[in-house]
Every structure is written in structure tokens, then in C-alpha cells.
Chains A and B, each alone.
Chain A
Amino acid sequence: MNQGSAPRAAAVSPAAAPPRRARPLGGAVAYLLILPAFLLAALIVLWPLATITNISLHDVNRFGQLRGYSGLANFADLWRDPDFIATLWRTAVWTIGVVGGTLILSIPVALVLNRDFYGRGLARIIIMLPWSVSVTMTAVVWRWALNGESGLLNSALRAVGVLDHNVVWLASAATAFPVQIGIGILVSIPFTVTVFLAGLSSVPEDIYEAAALEGASGWQQFRSLTLPMLRPFITLAVVLNVIYVFNSFPIIWVLTQGGPANSTDILVTYLYKLAFRFGQMGQAAGVSIIMFAILLAFTLLYVRLVSRTETPT
């Protein structure tokens, strides 16, 4: 342990003595130390990944038992399926809509909660509260609230005079999908605000005082000070939220199960139907692999793009 921690400490604080002992210890010991974490990752990430890849390349019966190699036939079937292509695009709309909306709303909320005002603790608790309720439960409550006949939303909107007749929100995608995106934003805000608050607390107060002295307006301070300082936290929020929202199942499943007529399906609900309703395990595994590839590509590309724009500054 001692031998191992020495080079690590040296690497973390480059200002300290030159890392004399780092090189000779590198090889075997480093790999040995990484081994437990690698084994764990292999068990919970690589092993399922390998299994799913294997399933996606086979003809599989509905009970997940392999019935012979089929090459890329499952992927070809998906490609010919108009529902799959439409679902792919809808997943992009869903992800961009929810993550974009969450970011736009979370920044001002975080800025306000970062100010010192009476009752801030309470305000923070209220903003964070939805986080403590499971997303599935939130979706169930919304399903009741959105009921066309006896839903809370309709009676509330009628009471304030916005509506003069009941809207059956979940009857068609035109109303159901925007509502689902809205709920997605609502449940993503607590986490995102938390990330931004952490970022804001690391911004020193005095630079704002200096900027104010120089005559910078509030908007200029935000553009030139807050936003650049928050950038790594925005990157983090984007990457984590995209991964989470892209894979998010409960809201859409509970409200519409992807219907009517597949018009609110996203990849993960479509995958579930393929696997557990229609018994198309091979195609479902294919969707799973495609989702994994999309997320991996996005994350690598985005982090690379962000770090490239950051280096010159």
C-alpha cells in the first residue's frame, strides 16, 4: 500500500518534490492496484455488454435462449422497421428537449438559491424535494393529474379560466409528448441545480466586487464571470443528464406506454416492448447495443469538444 500511494500522491501535487519514484513502480504494481476496480467494472459492465452483443448477433427465442448465429440480421430488421427509425428521432427530441429545458431553468434557479436571503434553506429544500420521490411515483401522480375526466390539471386550469373544456392530455402525442418532456424537466432540475450550486459556491465573491467597481452590468458579470466559471459543471450536468434522460423509462411508460400508436415511444420503451411483450430478444439486444453506441459516441465527442474549446482560455 505504501509503495503504491507514494507515486499517486506525487502525481496529484505536481508542486511537491519531483516524482522520483513514480517510474520504477509504474508497471506491475499499478496494474495490480487497478485490478480490483477493473474486475468489478468487468463484472457489472463488460460482462453484460458481451452477453448482449452475443445475443444481438444470434437468432434468439423469447426466453433468451440462443438458436444459432444470425450475423447482423437483427440490426437489419431494426433498420427496416419504420417504428424504430421514428423512435430514434423522437428519442433525440426527448433528450434534447429535457436536457436543454433543464439547463435553461436550472441556471437561474441556482443563481437565486446561491444568493443569501431569508428562507434560503427552505427554498433549497423545496427545490430539492422532488428528488426524494421516485420518478415512477411522480409519473403515477401525473397520470392521475392528467386524467381527462377527473384530473387535477384540467380542474385547476378551468378554475383559473385558462380552459373552458376538459383537455384529454394523454389522448394524442401532440399534447402527451410535450407534457412528458415537461415532467422530465421537472424531475431533472433538483440534480442539475445541486451541481450548479456546487459550482457557484466555488466562485469567489471578490471578483464580482471588482467587476462591479469596473462598471460591469449584471448581465456582463454573468456572461464573463459566472458562465466561464460554471463551464466544467455545465459539462458535467449535460453529460450526466443526457445519459440519464436518454435511458429514462418510467415517465413515458407510466403515462402512455409509448402510445397511442407508438407516437410517444423512445428507444428504451420500444426496447422493453420488443423484449418482454413481443419476445424479440435479438432485436431488443440490438436496440440496446445501438443505444450504448450512441451514448458512448456522444459522451466522447462532447467531452472532447468541450475540452478543446477550454484549452485556449
Chain B
Amino acid sequence: MKPIFHLMGSAALLGLAGMAQAGDVRITVAEYSSKTGPYFDKMVSQFEEANPDINVIVEVTPWDVMLQKLTTDIAGNANADLAIIGTRWLLDFVEQDIAEPLDSYIDEDFQARFIETFLSPSRMDGQIYGLPVAASARAMYYNKSLFEEAGIDGPPATWEELKEDAAKISALGDDIAGYGLQGKEIETDVYFYYPMWSYGGSILADDGSSGFGSDAAIQAATMYKSLIDAGVTQDGPTAYNREDVQNLFKQGKVGMMITAPFLASQIKDEAPDLNYGIAPIPAGPDGDRGTYGVTDSIIMFANSGNKDEAWQFLDYLFTQEPRSEFTRGEGFLPVNKAVSEEPAFTENEDLKVFASVLPDARFAPVVTGWEEIADVMSSALQRVYLDQATPEEAMTRAADEANRILGK
């Protein structure tokens, strides 16, 4: 019976479990860029040189299918020992006892390596369940050449100013838009939270119910809609996802857009002549500001058979040298204190702006069903952008649906 069982098991696990032996550590990593795979291969060979009895197997998975892969692996009991996940998914992993609490491995020294802002989203019920591996915040990119051409001195400080500047830039030509507005696919909702936060709103109200029906949310949606109606965004925002808007920016067809540090490294490679600047996201009428902070975390699976070996590999990954190489290669913000003090980061003008907005950073709320709530908001916005609903109608309905998901 036993060999047969083993055979069936390996078939079900696509042979992966069949290959794994004691001392093997499997890690599923997200492919942030074409540099991710080679980076981890290098780390593994360096680690194995120092720890010849441990064999590390790296599985590189594209971000788009990461959650699907993890879900399928876990359902089939074929998951790795370690995995990179979006920290916003962590609650589900913790509630279902999939993720192992790491406190027994972490000593004070280890914890002191991290910048606390980025470690806090991985803390639940007083335990640390994940180690932040990538962090980013958002800021506004603006095209200096277009600003100059339109006779504008510098980036707008408020959304009111942004609207005026966008109108001036749009007037420069038919295929030039003042403000690039994302209206499709992942993070369509996030693109709206920037003004919502500026107007003083929040995703969740203090009592834990949805903040989508608030005056601030309606004002922000009305403001975005007025940009579309005034013709100062690109045509048909609901056809543009984040990459599409970034492409417009790289082509010099968009005056301003809000996105993460990685656009700067893309511009360096793809549009080195583009004359751009980075500024904080505009403030609202009362001076409120908000930017979206995102971290990804490495978790250890509770059912891992090689926890000690897996931890040894984590311990190595989070030392200064590997962290520095990863953060520089992928264009993220440093999560490691020592790394953030390296000249490569302190002397980088672009990253300075991102570091300066961190005090305003807000993270995705830690609630179950967050992805579904984000989708509710994205759909509500698309209805507003397409004129299928007024901001009041769309936001009120989004709040109702979000409250149903939240059980409020």
C-alpha cells in the first residue's frame, strides 16, 4: 500500500513532493522583473556554499497568477516551505492556520534590522507572520518638458491646482493629456484612494464599516469625473490599466500620473531622455494627504517539514548584502535599516521623494474579503467614469456592497 500511496502522492504533486528530501527548502517567489529569477539563483548558490547540507529549490511565479498558484498548492497540500505573498492577503493565511508565526525564531537583533513601518502590516494578534521583502509607496510623476511648454513652474500642491495645470497641458495638443487616469484592472480603486484620502476620507470608518459612502469619497469621485468631463485626462480611462497609463507617460503623452518607484527604473531603461520629476501626491482642501503603502512578505507555511532549514535561509536573505542587491535591482524602497542608509539610496533623488511621503502611507485594510471590496470600488468608479451612475449613487452602492462583505 505504501509505495502505491507514495506514487499517487507524487503524481498529484506534479512530482515535486517526490523529489523533496529532508533538508530541502522550497520557496515560491514572485517574479517582480526579469532580474528576480537570477537574483534568487545567486542567493541560493551563495547560501548553499555556506550550508552544504541544505538544498534550496526556487519556484519563480508571475505576480498575476501568484495567488492562484498558492491557492491550488495549498488545496492540494503541495505548497512550498516559504512563499512571497502580498501582505494584504496575510489575514486569510493567518485565519486558516496556513502561515506559521515567526516569533520563536525572531530575536531582538533580527527585528532591529527592519524599518518598523514596514514590519507592522505583518503583525497580527501580537505575532509576526511575515517578513517584508518588498516595499513601495506612491508619488506623482510629472513631465517637466510639458510643464515648461505650458508655462507652469512646478508640480501642483493641491488637487485644485492639478486640475488647472492639467487643463493647460491638455491644451498643448490633441494627443496630450494633462492627467493620466487609470480606470481598468488591478488598482483602479487605489488610483481613486489618493484623492479620497486627500479629501479626508478613509477606506474603513472608525467603527469598521465602509467609508466609501462618505462625503470625502463622493467629493473625490466628483473631482475625478470633472477631470474627465473637462477633457484633461486621456480619452476613455476605463480602457487603460496601470501599465497603459505608464506607457503614455513614457511616451511623453501625459503630464502627470501617480504610481510606484518602479516607473523610474523603467524610464531609465526605456525612455532615458524623458525629462520628469517626482512630487508628493497633491493635498486636499484641508491639507490632508495620503499615499498607498504596499509591502510583500515572505511567510513560512505551518505545514512545512523543514522549518529550521527554511529559517536559516530567511535569516540569510535578510542580511544587508542580499537585501541591498534585491532592493536596488527591483527598484523598491529599502525595508532594512542598514540598507536605507547606503549611499545608493540616500543620494537617489527619486527615492528621496518616496521616502519623504512615507509618513502619509496607508496600507490596505486588514479585513477578510479585501480583494472583493477593492473590486466593488473599481466597478463603482468605472460606472462613474462611464456616466452610468452619479458619484453619489455609485459610492452609496459601493458602501452597501462593501458593508455586506464586511458583515456590517
Q: What's the minimum C-beta distance from B310 to chain A, rounded to whole angstroms?
A: 20
B108-116, B145-153, B380-388 - the one binding chain A: B380-388
Q: What's the minimum C-beta distance from B303 to chain A, rounded to whole angstroms?
A: 11
Q: Across the interface, which residues of A come within 8 angstroms of B267, CB to CB?
A: none
Q: Which of B68, B183, B382 has the most CB of A within 10 A?
A: B382
**Residue B184 CB within 8 A of the other chain:** yes
**Residue A235 CB within 8 A of the other chain:** no
Determine if A149 and B253 form an interchain contact, defined as CB atoms under 8 angstroms apart.
Answer: yes
**In whole angstroms, what is the CA distance A283 to B168 when docked?**
49
**In whole angstroms, what is the CA distance A256 to B244 when docked?**
13
Q: Which residue on chain B has the smallest CB distance to residue A256?
A: B184
Determine if B386 and A261 form an interchain contact, defined as CB atoms under 8 angstroms apart.
Answer: yes
Q: Which residue on chain B has the smallest CB distance to residue A279?
A: B92
Mostly, the A contact residues are loop
Determine if B71 and A64 form an interchain contact, defined as CB atoms under 8 angstroms apart.
Answer: yes
Determine if B238 and A171 form an interchain contact, defined as CB atoms under 8 angstroms apart.
Answer: yes
Which residues, 139 to 177 on A, are CB-close (under 8 Å) to B? 147-150, 166, 168-172
**Residue B315 CB within 8 A of the other chain:** no
Determine if B96 and A259 form an interchain contact, defined as CB atoms under 8 angstroms apart.
Answer: no
* A149-B234 CB under 8 A given contacts A65-B96, A277-B371: yes
Determine if B388 and A257 form an interchain contact, defined as CB atoms under 8 angstroms apart.
Answer: no
Q: Which residue on chain A has the smallest CB distance to residue B253?
A: A149
Q: Across the interface, which residues of A come within 8 angstroms of B371, CB to CB?
A: 277-279
Interface string of A58-87 (1 = CB under 8 A from B): 000111110000000000000000000000
**In whole angstroms, what is the CA distance A261 to B377 when docked?**
9
Q: Which of B71, B240, B379 contacts A62 (CB 8 A)?
A: B71
**Residue B277 CB within 8 A of the other chain:** no
**In whole angstroms, what is the CA distance A257 to B185 when docked?**
7
* A171-B375 CB under 8 A given contacts A65-B75, A261-B386, A276-B67: no
Determine if B382 and A261 form an interchain contact, defined as CB atoms under 8 angstroms apart.
Answer: yes
**Residue B305 CB within 8 A of the other chain:** no
Q: How large is the interface on B (under 10, 10 to 19, 20 to 34, 35 or more residues)?
A: 35 or more
Determine if A259 and B235 form an interchain contact, defined as CB atoms under 8 angstroms apart.
Answer: no
**Residue A262 CB within 8 A of the other chain:** yes
**Residue B230 CB within 8 A of the other chain:** no
**Residue A273 CB within 8 A of the other chain:** yes
Q: Across the interface, which residues of B come within 8 angstroms of A256, CB to CB?
A: 184
Q: What's the minimum C-beta distance from A277 to chain B, rounded to whole angstroms?
A: 5
Q: Which of A166, A169, A262, A278 contacts B369 (CB 8 A)?
A: A278
Q: Across the interface, which residues of B come within 8 angstroms of A257, CB to CB?
A: 184-185
Determine if B248 and A149 form an interchain contact, defined as CB atoms under 8 angstroms apart.
Answer: yes
Which residues, 14 to 48 on A, are CB-close (under 8 Å) to B? none
Interface string of B357-380 (1 = CB under 8 A from A): 000000000000101100100111
Q: What's the minimum C-beta distance from A228 to chain B, rounded to whole angstroms?
A: 46
**Residue B237 CB within 8 A of the other chain:** yes
Q: Across the interface, which residues of A come within 8 angstroms of B379, CB to CB?
A: 259-262
**In whole angstroms, what is the CA distance A150 to B240 when docked?**
12
Q: Which of B75, B183, B234, B388 has the most CB of A within 10 A?
A: B75
* A172-B75 CB under 8 A given contacts A149-B234, A277-B371: no
Q: Across the interface, which residues of A come within 8 angstroms of B67, CB to CB?
A: 276-277
Q: What's the minimum C-beta distance from B235 to chain A, rounded to whole angstroms?
A: 5
**Residue B74 CB within 8 A of the other chain:** yes
Q: Across the interface, which residues of B come within 8 angstroms of A260, CB to CB?
A: 183-184, 238, 379, 382-383, 385-386
Q: What's the minimum C-beta distance from A45 to chain B, rounded to whole angstroms?
A: 17
Q: What's the minimum C-beta distance from B28 to chain A, rounded to whole angstroms?
A: 14
Q: Which of B75, B239, B369, B378 contacts A171 (CB 8 A)?
A: B239
Q: Across the interface, which residues of B come within 8 angstroms of A150, CB to CB?
A: 251
Q: Which of A61, A64, A261 contacts B388 (CB 8 A)?
A: A261
Q: Across the interface, which residues of A come within 8 angstroms of B369, CB to CB?
A: 278-279
Q: What's the minimum C-beta distance from A251 to chain B, rounded to whole angstroms?
A: 16
Q: Which of B75, B239, B372, B383 contacts A63 (CB 8 A)?
A: B75
**In whole angstroms, what is the CA distance A4 to B98 when docked?**
53
Determine if B235 and A278 form an interchain contact, defined as CB atoms under 8 angstroms apart.
Answer: no
Determine if B236 and A168 form an interchain contact, defined as CB atoms under 8 angstroms apart.
Answer: yes
**In whole angstroms, what is the CA distance A148 to B233 when docked?**
13
Determine if A148 and B184 form an interchain contact, defined as CB atoms under 8 angstroms apart.
Answer: no
Q: Across the interface, which residues of B come within 8 angstroms of A172, CB to CB?
A: 236, 238, 386
**Which residues does A use to contact B, with CB under 8 Å?**
61-65, 147-150, 166, 168-172, 256-257, 259-262, 273, 275-280
Given contacts A148-B234, A149-B175, A171-B236, 14 further A-B contacts (CB under 8 A): A63-B98, A148-B236, A148-B240, A149-B253, A168-B235, A170-B236, A170-B239, A171-B238, A256-B184, A259-B378, A261-B378, A277-B375, A278-B369, A279-B71
23 contacts between A and B (CB under 8 A): A63-B96, A64-B71, A65-B74, A65-B75, A148-B235, A148-B239, A171-B237, A172-B386, A257-B184, A259-B238, A259-B379, A259-B382, A260-B184, A261-B378, A261-B380, A261-B383, A273-B375, A277-B67, A277-B371, A277-B375, A278-B369, A278-B372, A279-B371
